[in-house]
Amino acid sequence: MSDKTNQQWGGRFNEPTDAFVARFTASVEFDQRMYLQDIRGSIAHAKMLTKAGVLTEAERDDIIRGLGEIRVEIERGEFEWSVALEDVHMNIEAALTKKIGITGKKLHTGRSRNDQVATDIRLYLRDEIDLILSEITRLQQGMLSVAEREADTIMPGFTHLQTAQPVTFGHHLMAWFEMLSRDFSRFEDCRERANIMPLGAAALAGTTYPIQRDFTCELLEFNAPAENSLDAVSDRDFAIEFCSASSILLMHLTRMSEELVLWTSAQFDFINLPDRFCTGSSIMPQKKNPDVPELVRGKSGRVFGHLMSLLTLMKSQPLAYNKDNQEDKEPLFDAIDTVKGCLRAFADMVPALEAKEENMREAALRGFSTATDLADYLVRKGMPFRDAHEVVGKSVAYGIEQSKDLGEMSLEELVQFSDIIEQDVFDVLTLEGSVAARDHIGGTAPNQVRAAVKRAQQKLDQRG
């Protein structure tokens, strides 16, 4: 048994808390990272209590001074965290009371740990989302620099991982950019719904003190106070939404990672990944392993798991607060850390990608990537598309037999499949002609890629 029970709630208990139970139910080892938000919320609460006439100005000033000193101690690593005090909130409150005396005990007037922790989590998540949005923008900026540089670099485009049509490397990078733009929007939306203030809901039903929630809301820069006290203390769907947005982001990063892994392989050899983003083998001296994209690809699993963990945590919970909700923090915190780490790795790595233009071009020449261009050519000459499809299919079969790409065949060879084919067919059978022909918004033509980069840069600039 422990020698005492938490004095901040133990008045009705007749025996001390079991030592194991005290450790088992404590959260301070992981929720202490919210100390800054907890102190900020407490300062705002103290100011509101003073405005409502519950605290004097002198008491408010003592509380603010004491909390400021505690913040400095924490940031210097001098603060002693106690498992016996369970969580970040109790630790800070106990330290405050020790510093300023009985006034410290007045700070908790009109609030509960239930609305306090719900407020802290929202404040913390709001701050972290801002950092994530900034890092997404940094990654997108890096993608734009590569896309503009490689707007003319031709590579094979794939469907089913089979050569389909030629595209430019810049166009491919802009596809990644679009994925991240939707991710940015999802995190922005998530931030809006997270930015609602639970403080004032108290344990579950509100408080009898004359609190002024609009004033506290303004101090903490929330959009609005929560409308319902029961929902305010028990809601965690904003954390689920964050993990959902994070899972989609990580899914996108895994797609990019998979392509980077393929492109750096000897079989593709499309890009060079600088040594600083790779590792070697302990036994095979020739190896240069793309560990950063591989690890990002692997880390997606833990974020997907955190989404399922939070969904399961909240499933079937009755209103209002339940101790189950203590389990919301570790998956949320780890999801935040993982997303930030993966974004940082990619934002550092992507601008350093080096395209191997000749290898990309040579690969685009294999696999009859201009077959659709030939079909479109025949249609423009008056042939129905289905007939053109059959003609091109036969010419491809011939090319396979002769080990020749369409662009390598002579006019005489091509004419045997259709007599409407003329010398101008070679204008569309070149890789450059193929990509240049896709000259519309969203197309892979180099001038369209540059225009897309310009539009995208304007969007990033507007984010401020």
**DSSP string over 391-458:** HHHHHHHHHHHHT--GGGS-HHHHHTT-TT--GGGHHHHSHHHHHHH--STT---HHHHHHHHHHHHH
Same domain for 254 and 383, yes or no, is: no
Pairing of strands 196-197, 224-225: parallel
CB 210 within 8 A of CB 53: yes
137-147 pLDDT, tens digit per residue, is 999 999 999 99
What is the average pLDDT score of the chain? 94
What gap in Å lies between CA 12 and CA 391, rounded to an integer? 88
Share of the chain above pLDDT 90, in %: 88
What gap in Å lies between CA 462 and CA 464, rounded to an integer? 5
CB 405 within 8 A of CB 399: yes
463 in a domain, yes or no? Answer: no
How close are the terminal C-alpha atoms of the chain, in Å? 56
Same domain for 341 and 394, yes or no, is: no
Token pair listed for 319: 């209103």
Max CA pair span of the chain: 101
CB 401 within 8 A of CB 444: no
75-101 pLDDT, tens digit per residue, is 999 999 999 999 999 999 999 999 999
Same domain for 118 and 162, yes or no, is: yes
Four-residue CA torsion sign, 7, 42, 117, 113: positive
Same domain for 175 and 34, yes or no, is: no
Active site residues: 160, 281
> Does residue 365 carry a pLDDT above 80?
yes
335 in a domain, yes or no? Answer: yes
> Of 77, 109, 141, which residue sits at a domain end?
109
427 in a domain, yes or no? Answer: yes
What gap in Å lies between CA 95 and CA 81, rounded to an integer? 10
> Does residue 41 carry a pLDDT above 90?
yes
Same domain for 350 and 436, yes or no, is: no
> Of 362, 387, 412, which residue sits at a domain end?
362
Token pair listed for 312: 């399961």
In terms of Cα–Cα distance, which of 405, 395, 459, 462 is closest to 430? Answer: 405
Number of domains in the chain: 3
159 in a domain, yes or no? Answer: yes
- pTM recorded for the entire structure: 0.92
433 in a domain, yes or no? Answer: yes
Side-chain-facing half-sphere of 405: CA atoms under 13 Å: 17
Name the residue range of residue 297's domain.
114-197+234-362
Whole-number pLDDT of residue 4: 56
**DSSP string over 45-77:** HHHHHHHTTSS-HHHHHHHHHHHHHHHHHHHHT
Specify the amino acid at residue 367: G
CB 448 within 8 A of CB 439: yes
Q: Is the peptide bond before 456 cis (omega within 30 degrees of 0)?
A: no
CATH label of the domain that carries residue 373: 1.10.40.30
Bridge partners of residue 309, in order along the sequence: none
Share of the chain above pLDDT 70, in %: 97
Whole-number pLDDT of residue 2: 46
Q: What integer is the mean pLDDT of 245-251?
A: 98
Same domain for 303 and 370, yes or no, is: no
Please give the angle made by the CA atoms of 7, 209 and 110, to the nearest 5 degrees. 35
Same domain for 84 and 119, yes or no, is: no
Same domain for 291 and 329, yes or no, is: yes
427-454 pLDDT, tens digit per residue, is 889 999 999 999 999 999 999 999 999 9
Token pair listed for 451: 């225009």
Same domain for 251 and 163, yes or no, is: yes
> Of 310, 331, 362, which residue sits at a domain end?
362
Same domain for 315 and 376, yes or no, is: no
Check residue 289 and report its DSSP letter.
B
In terms of Cα–Cα distance, which of 203, 184, 233 is closest to 339? Answer: 184
247 in a domain, yes or no? Answer: yes
Same domain for 416 and 341, yes or no, is: no
124 in a domain, yes or no? Answer: yes
> Does residue 218 carry a pLDDT above 80?
yes
What gap in Å lies between CA 435 and CA 445, rounded to an integer? 5
Between 13-17, 113-117, 353-357, 394-398, the lowest mean confidence (pLDDT) is in 13-17
Same domain for 156 and 252, yes or no, is: yes
CATH label of the domain that carries residue 123: 1.20.200.10
139 in a domain, yes or no? Answer: yes
